[in-house]
Amino acid sequence: MAIQIVMDRNGDTRHNFDAEDLNAVSKAERRFNELTGAGFTAAIRTADGDPVVTRTFDPTAEETLFFPRLVGG
Amino acid sequence: MVVRLLGISDDQLWRVLAPCSRWARAFREWYQRPSISEVRGCELLTEWLSAEQFKQYGSYNYFEVIGCHTGNRYRIRHGTGMNVYELDDVGRPRAGWCFVPNDNLVAGDVMLAQKIALETDERAALAVAKNFSPR
């Protein structure tokens, strides 16, 4: 199972999907594009645990985290 | 005075006030408890911290990150704003940077977004950040 985690006012919302299921992957890709198109940053973790920002959907990523655009406070 | 006005003894007054005091304390503890959102935010943050950052956060309520472009060290304190400090060579804050996600997020989420931004695209984070004096 892969997971997309979207930060929101409730802490986060998690979307699990089966990376072997083409429909689920397609839906996850659509969600990725919608979120990044809306200004969210998508990040995954390397095997060492270091964060990496990704601009394109990676169907093999086990976990993708989305956070809203950053602004000056 | 109150006792005389009400025509009751100290003991009777205490019997009325003691439960009220307990209820007030219980209410205060309930009101100040971390929300489920805050707990979830902190859990997510700790999943993404390195072992060293996790240790720092547990001990000091802050953790440090290295900016990916300059190699500068930053301290991210628990909070939702004005909580990022650039450190000098001896670990003293020399500048404050304020940048936050443009949604109303809990502290754990805000800190995680700040950590990822500094570790993966420091220049972009500082480009939007507002500078403040750390003192």
Q: Do A68 and B113 touch (CB under 8 A)?
A: yes
Distance separating alpha carbons of residues B103 and B37, to the nearest angstrom: 14
Q: What percent of chain B has pLDDT over 70?
A: 95
Q: Which residue has tokens 């006012």?
A: A9
CATH 3.10.20 assigned to domain A2-67? The reply is yes
Distance separating alpha carbons of residues B100 and B108, to the nearest angstrom: 12
In this structure, the strands spanning A11-17 and B93-101 are unpaired
Q: What is the mean pLDDT of residues B32-38?
A: 83
Cβ pairs bridging A and B (under 8 Å): 95
Distance separating alpha carbons of residues B48 and B70, to the nearest angstrom: 22
Distance separating alpha carbons of residues B79 and B73, to the nearest angstrom: 18
Banded pLDDT at B114 (limits 50, 70, 90): very high
Q: Do B120 and A72 touch (CB under 8 A)?
A: no
Which alpha helices (H) appear in chain A, and where do they start and end? Answer: 22-37
Nearest CA in chain B to A52: B120
Backbone phi and psi for residue A9, each to the nearest 5 degrees, phi listed first: -65, -15
pLDDT of residue B3: 62
Nearest to B109 among A11, A39, A51 (CB): A11
Q: Do B101 and A53 touch (CB under 8 A)?
A: no
Q: Do B100 and A70 touch (CB under 8 A)?
A: yes
Nearest-neighbour CA in chain A from B105: distance (Å) = 5
Q: Do A10 and B44 touch (CB under 8 A)?
A: no
Regions in chain A scoring below 70 on pLDDT = none
B123 CB neighbours in chain A (<8 A) are: none
Domain ranges of chain A: 2-67
pTM score, whole prediction = 0.85
pLDDT of residue A73: 79
Q: Does residue B6 surpass a pLDDT of 80?
A: no
**Do A45 and A51 touch, CB atoms closer than 8 A?**
yes
